[in-house]
Amino acid sequence: MFSPTALRPRYAKWLIATGLFLVLSGCVEKPNTLERVKEDGVLRVVTRNSPATYFQDRNGETGFEYELVKRFADDLGVELKIETADNLDDLFTQLGKPNGPVLAAAGLVSSEKRKSQVRFSHSYLEVTPQIIYRNGQSRPTDPAALAGKKIMVLKGSTHAEQLAQLKQKYPGITEYEESDAVEVVDLLRMVDEGQIDLTLVDSNEVAMNQVYFPNVRVAFDLGDASNQSWAVAPGEDNSLLNEINAYLDKVQKNGTLQRLKDRYYGHVDVLGYVGAYTFAQHLQQRLPKYEKHFKNYAKAEKVDWRLLAAIGYQESLWQPTVTSKTGVRGLMMLTQNTAQAMGVSNRLDPKQSIRGGAKYLAYIKGLLDDSIEEPDRTWFALAAYNVGGGHLDDARKLAAKEGLNPNKWLDVKKILPRLSQKKWYSKTRYGYARGGEPVHFVANIRRYYDILTWVTQPQLEGDQVAEGNLHVPGVDKSKPNPETPPL
């Protein structure tokens, strides 16, 4: 047996070794936020599901904030993981949670209240808060004119803070509501439909969405311009914030930021009927160049060539070299991924583009549930061609829950516009979509198809259709409104 005296030196050495280990362990610094992001290989970002921030369309994930933050993740060499918050309060709560998002990219404007919750980056977009009213109603021209009006804004927004300040100055401003059940696009729709009198939103979101709401007008700017920034959690760790600021400064200098601004806010393309008069002209001037390709590839894929031609007209006005702001190109406006999948090497080659469009239409049609029968199957395929199969499935499920027939276009087209309303898209798998667009898309194509069917009857077939023989129902001989936005 060991004596107590013999054990003491060994015990003392063990204590010294243990103490030294603990001291050395305490000297090892924990990785900072930027180091953790790079070690994990993932940048976790929280944002809003809205057209100005992040949503999914037929090109995949998109949105101004998404594209800007995706480039940042690429610069860091990490994967981007997007999370969406139900509302602004939830967004700030999520930011900085353990294993949660480390960055908020959601079109945020700093305020004194928010500075106590988060730290803001350098700015990247200047916006102006604007009072929005409905055309035909009395236009308010100053804050005092807001008294007695039914006003709604986003809960937790800087706009709500502005109204609270105005209320102190103008006691008559009592009728305003903060809601966390809507997004900006909902507010604009509510003004457009007369559900509320006024709202307050930033100028960039008005510019992006106004074309979808014909009754929406800007009454006046409320206050000076503000700057949108990204946000990180509070604290003393500036590693990620410094990296963000360096990135935002870089994209400001190299023109990347301006290109994104031009793409999303410089102009807005919108689906719309450009006028039967113009269509009649293009029937004679443009269709003959591509008619044989429409016929050949439609036959190969067992689709109606006139339907294929109608899609081509809706997409590009039968122009083979156009490129949209979202990067889709060519006569059939194929995305890069779709073109590759359909074996198209040059999207600007009209022959290849038409072949790819025919194959893609047949492919989409084949993916639809067997329960969907013609002619609805064709209209569903067109809707999926425009908005994507995921969003179409969301609308069909919502239709079924509403007691409508998910296999009938007449029913589902009533539901699709709801995908742009937060109270509906928040319940779906694929989230926000401009659900009104596929409805217009299908309606336009059906009208073009009807006209093509009429003018290509046996007695009217030929290389060209003479203007004098163009007996087409609904063709307006008057020139189209020059203010009509192009497709």
Task: Read off φ and ψ for residue 398, nearest 5 degrees.
Answer: -65, -40
Task: Read off φ and ψ for residue 56, nearest 5 degrees.
Answer: -115, 135
Apex CA 390: angle with CA 387 and CA 393, to 5°?
100
Q: How far is CA 49 from CA 152, 274, 414, in A?
A: 19, 31, 22
Q: State how far the Cα of 273 lies from the Cα of 444, in Å rounded to an integer.
A: 6
Q: State how far the Cα of 128 lies from the Cα of 114, in Å rounded to an integer.
A: 18
Residues, the chain: 487
The amino acid at 282: H
Catalytic (active-site) positions: 315
Q: State how far the Cα of 475 lies from the Cα of 278, in Å rounded to an integer.
A: 10
Q: Which two tokens stand for residue 381?
A: 């395929």
Nearest CA to 120 among 152, 137, 83, 95? 95
Do 395 and 416 meet the contact criterion of CB atoms below 8 Å apart?
Answer: yes
Q: State how far the Cα of 155 lies from the Cα of 182, in Å rounded to an integer.
A: 9
* 317-338 exposure pattern, b = at least 16 Cβ within 10 A, e = fewer: bbbbebeeeeebbbbbbbbeeb
Cα dihedral 19/20/22/25 (nearest 10): 180
**Owner of token pair 């087209």:** 413
Q: Which two tokens stand for residue 201?
A: 């939103």
Nearest CA to 188 among 420, 433, 419? 420
**Owner of token pair 């993916």:** 367
Instruction: Please compute Rg for the chain using Cα positions.
Output: 28
| 3-class secondary structure, 200 | strand
Do 261 and 52 meet the contact criterion of CB atoms below 8 Å apart?
Answer: no
Q: Tell how far CA 340 is from the center of its chain.
A: 23
Q: State how far the Cα of 81 lies from the Cα of 62, in Å rounded to an integer.
A: 13
| 3-class secondary structure, 104 | strand
Q: Which two tokens stand for residue 74?
A: 């690429």
367 membership: H or E segment, kind and range: helix 350-367
Q: State how far the Cα of 408 lies from the Cα of 36, in Å rounded to an integer.
A: 50
